[in-house]
């Protein structure tokens, strides 16, 4: 049972498929608020550690872990409530971009904190993490945009 589809109807259908695909991919990308939430939680944990009070360090650790779990859970649940992108859409380049981003944040924040501590600067953990947090809130959305572009290109069949 095959029927001839007029070209304009086929074009509209393909446009709608592309639009829906973009919606699914947009829902799978990390939202901007997530980068801010994790950055604030990181700075809070560093401040708790820099206070050198075991109780504050413990409370800060619990708040950090629960906050990251809650924020991550919210992002994951948001994606699970909707259609999922097909496997492999992120690709090896996307995975390497994410790993590189994490490595860059650590490569900036840890040496900064240790260097400031060696120089005798107070609250060195907070300052180091602030640098990493600034990188997260500025480069995190750029990473999300890059991942989105890559997924859209793969969805369209364009080599990336």
What does the block give as tokens for 77? Answer: 């649940």
Contacts of 115 (CB under 8 A, 6+ apart): 124
CA distance linking residue 33 with residue 15, whole number of Å? 30
Q: Is the pLDDT of residue 138 over 80?
A: yes
Asked whether 35 and 140 are in contact (CB, 8 A), the reply is yes
| Separation in Å, CA 125 to CA 24, 93, 113, 129, 135 | 39, 32, 5, 6, 15
Q: Count CA atoms within 13 Å of residue 106 on its CB side.
A: 6
Q: What is the pLDDT of residues 26-47, one digit of tens each?
A: 666 788 999 999 999 999 999 9
Please give the average per-residue pLDDT across 11-33, as a whole number. Answer: 71
Helix, strand, or coil here: 29?
A: coil
pLDDT in tens, 91-136: 788 889 989 999 999 999 999 999 999 999 999 999 999 999 999 9
Sign of the dihedral through C-alpha 153, 155, 156, 157: positive
Domain spans of the chain, in order of start: 7-155
Given a contact cutoff of 8 angstroms between Cβ atoms, the answer to whether 144 and 32 are in contact is yes
């Amino acid at each position: 049972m095959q029927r001839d589809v007029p070209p304009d109807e086929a074009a509209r259908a393909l446009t709608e498929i592309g639009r829906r695909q973009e919606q699914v991919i947009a829902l799978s990308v990390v939202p901007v608020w997530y980068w801010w939430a994790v950055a604030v939680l990181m700075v809070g944990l560093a401040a708790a550690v820099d206070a050198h009070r075991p109780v504050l360090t413990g409370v800060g650790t619990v708040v950090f872990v629960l906050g990251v779990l809650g924020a991550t859970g919210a992002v994951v649940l948001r994606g699970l409530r909707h259609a999922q992108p097909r496997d492999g859409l992120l690709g090896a380049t996307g995975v390497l971009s994410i790993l590189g981003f994490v490595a860059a944040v650590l490569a900036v924040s840890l040496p900064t904190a240790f260097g400031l501590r060696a120089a005798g600067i107070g609250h060195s953990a907070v300052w180091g993490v602030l640098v990493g947090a600034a990188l997260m809130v500025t480069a995190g959305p750029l990473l999300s945009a890059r991942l989105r572009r890559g997924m859209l290109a793969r969805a369209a069949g364009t080599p990336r």
